[in-house]
Structure 1
């Protein structure tokens, strides 16, 4: 398959999101598209896939002019796309999601689920994918949901795969497994488009790379004709700023104390877990997705009631309190899922930015919100965090995924609470924004705030954490100080129960 895009233009009202971009994708190759949040990467691929209209330009498939009227037409032509924010039905099973709209039907119109199960099991076995086909998607971690999206494309036998930030929420082991699948696709002669912020992955996987900035194509060519450093400069339009040297922390008293916390019952129970997060430190939690990290975060933030144990914030027992009460007690929360938990997408940027501040002086007058104050506050966050959006009055849902994430991070860090729970805080943001967010987290730590960092990025855990706790099978399998941490030791604890440090993790 050979796909050529020529002089593509996509506009949203007065905004030109893609400005005369030309790209080519060939069978048996991996083509990476990189750029800052809002650079137009996802938009140009959405245009190819028939999700958004092109105002100018042309597309040819194997030399023949095409223009998809909808994604269904693109799918029938052999294209498949996995979006950064998953397109799954949460109340349906893995099997039902994968075959949705492509169900094998019998003579009477009944779906042949047995036939679909056998076909899907064969596809999964061919690529070494292990997942419970009968599990409800609502019960899956983000990493497992990514696998379901990949399975949909495998089931459809697409000839061209477009993957938008496919490893954003995957652990190193899951990323390696995905890349093994992609390599087998490449060897089978399929074309792969990889939209990503991770330059190491670009250098490891891509045969060609295209860099976009502000809707324009600034570089496109073979991976051998450039370098990681040059790609980074092309992305930001200049040199990246060096981060200051990371100073050792000076931990104080415990801000978050967890004792013998148990979430769920039976074989799937998470815990018992005990840990402390102290003033002036970052405690990182590492682990392969699905080993209890999500359940732990939900229990700590009030999204789920624990079955046993104690949770204290600033010496206050909060185990029985809801999310709002815990935030009032001194907690800020950067959730893993910005779409469902972090933002109200139909709401304005100013409304989303002001969540949690409506009881503060200046933000409300009697029973009414002060719109001018909300707009000023949102404008300040937009400028400080370099959020690309039309302005405070724009709807949150109009932003790119990375800019949504920056808005959530900006809102939560600006609250200045004693405790910050950060769950994959740099998911889907560009390299410049990653450095900025990391710097802000370290500033908060140095100012005496306690930060609990849960991340699927092992490099992020190692770069920011003063202490590291590793989870496996719903329990703490190991814990170590920053000075004693290395990838091999952490990786060993991620794959098996090591020292049972559920009590030791609490030791200061």
Structure 2
């Protein structure tokens, strides 16, 4: 099935998110679409899947112009999409999730689960997918949930699969399994569109790559006719930054000390966890999402009750609320910028100044000094290259990656002794990743303590001085920077701790 997007333009108010883009998607190809946050790549694919209506342009399938205004129309036309945030019902089985809203009905009006099971088993086995259909989704790993989403698309007989940042929360082993499935789809003649910011993965699996920048398509062609460096230059619109030199330094005084912390988790107890972070070091917390990282961060920041002792800058804080912990010396870059990091209905300026300690500079008696707030917001917009209409624009108008840049800039500007960064570059483009990593390293080199919690293994390995791995709510192992490898950390992430620690010995 050949798909052609022709002259697609999308506007959100004054912002032109996609500007006259034409793109061909061919069967039997893995087509990577890359670009900075706000470049328009997800918006373009959302047009194809019926989630966004374009201001102009057409969609053709096998030469015939088609039109749909909802995902149901796209699915009926043979398209399927796996979103970055999965859409599964945790209290239902895998089989029930897959057939939901597409249930096969038998002679007496009941759902024919046996027929669905036969059909699914046949298609899954044909692509090397092995997963028990009667397992509850609530007990699955992130990688397994993604496989379920892919099986939903398969069940609906999609010929074009769109995957949005599909490896952002996978272990190296899960990524390899996903790529094996995608290669099988390609061999069966399906078209796969991969929205991603990971250029190593583009080079590993893509047949064709398209680069978007500022809402326009700036390059598109076979992967064999380009290079990783050329793609990166197209994404950022200029030369790549030089490789960052890591400054060796001895850690200073203890900033954060955690002793036997225990918190409630989803279906498991998290802890007891003991860890420390000193001034001038980055301690990385690695692990597959759902192994206690969120509960640990919530307990440290005051968002979740926990037992055990937590000391920040010499002060016991486990009974203090969020605001008092921040005043003592804590900044927090949350994973969920939508709910925790930003007030989406407020302006960029209001969000940029939320929780600032130097409030006198931003107030006139009982009133806010809005010009000063706008100046500070504008400085963050320029420094972090945030794509937004300006300080007075609503935070809700920004793409996910630009929201993340705003949160990172606001929190790091506070220059507190401790920074807790939770997946700080999730869904962020190559230029912003490099900048955010540089800012975290700058904080470390200036003597701040950084606790980096990330499901991105490359991020953990690149930034951390020490690495702790969480599995099932407990620390599976600790590895020094010089001894860490992807394979060893991957084993700890999947509980093969004995094998992983042998690698160090």
The normalised TM-score by structure 2 is 0.90
**Bigger mean CA offset, 463-472 vs 371-380:** 371-380
User: Partner of 1:290 in structure 2?
Assistant: 290
Task: Call closer, same or farther: CA 1:119–1:420 in 2, change over 3 Å.
Answer: farther
CA distance in 2, matches of 1:471, 1:416: 28
User: Partner of 2:503 in structure 1?
Assistant: none
User: Partner of 1:127 in structure 2?
Assistant: 129
CA distance in 2, matches of 1:266, 1:222: 45
User: Partner of 1:391 in structure 2?
Assistant: 390
Gaps of 5+ in 1: 502-508
User: Partner of 1:380 in structure 2?
Assistant: 379
| Aligned pairs (5 A) from 1:86-105 | 86-87=86-87, 98-104=98-104
Name the SS of the counterpart of 2:497 in structure 1.
coil
User: How far does residue 279 in structure 1 lie from its aligned partner after superposition?
Assistant: 0.6
Gaps of 5+ in 2: 501-505
User: Partner of 2:60 in structure 1?
Assistant: 60
User: How far does residue 182 in structure 1 lie from its aligned partner after superposition?
Assistant: 1.5
Name the SS of the counterpart of 2:361 in structure 1.
coil
CA distance in 2, matches of 1:425, 1:131: 34
User: Partner of 1:269 in structure 2?
Assistant: 269
Contact 2:357–2:414 under 8 Å retained in 1: no
CA distance in 1, matches of 2:217, 2:411: 34
User: How far does residue 65 in structure 1 lie from its aligned partner after superposition?
Assistant: 0.9
- Aligned residue pair count: 499
User: How far does residue 323 in structure 1 lie from its aligned partner after superposition?
Assistant: 2.7
CA distance in 2, matches of 1:90, 1:408: 30
Name the SS of the counterpart of 1:210 in structure 2.
strand
User: Partner of 2:323 in structure 1?
Assistant: 324
Contact 2:29–2:207 under 8 Å retained in 1: yes
CA distance in 2, matches of 1:103, 1:365: 62
User: Partner of 1:281 in structure 2?
Assistant: 281
User: How far does residue 494 in structure 1 lie from its aligned partner after superposition?
Assistant: 2.4
User: Partner of 1:434 in structure 2?
Assistant: 433
CA distance in 2, matches of 1:266, 1:455: 19
CA distance in 2, matches of 1:352, 1:363: 13
User: How far does residue 272 in structure 1 lie from its aligned partner after superposition?
Assistant: 1.6
CA distance in 1, matches of 2:117, 2:308: 41
**Bigger mean CA offset, 483-492 vs 123-132:** 123-132
RMSD: 3.0
CA distance in 1, matches of 2:207, 2:350: 43
Name the SS of the counterpart of 2:427 in structure 1.
coil
User: How far does residue 264 in structure 1 lie from its aligned partner after superposition?
Assistant: 2.8
CA distance in 2, matches of 1:117, 1:292: 33
**Bigger mean CA offset, 274-283 vs 143-152:** 143-152
| Aligned pairs (5 A) from 1:296-375 | 296-306=296-306, 308-357=307-356, 360-375=359-374
**Bigger mean CA offset, 230-239 vs 174-183:** 174-183
1:201 and 2:167 correspond: no
Deviations 1:434-491 (A, max 9, x none): 1111110011011111101111122111111111112223222221221222223323
User: How far does residue 340 in structure 1 lie from its aligned partner after superposition?
Assistant: 2.6
**Bigger mean CA offset, 149-158 vs 201-210:** 149-158
User: How far does residue 249 in structure 1 lie from its aligned partner after superposition?
Assistant: 2.7
Deviations 1:343-384 (A, max 9, x none): 222222122222212772133345443333322221111111
CA distance in 2, matches of 1:259, 1:151: 43
User: Partner of 2:414 in structure 1?
Assistant: 415
Deviations 1:107-132 (A, max 9, x none): 88776778768876887775234798
Name the SS of the counterpart of 1:362 in structure 2.
helix
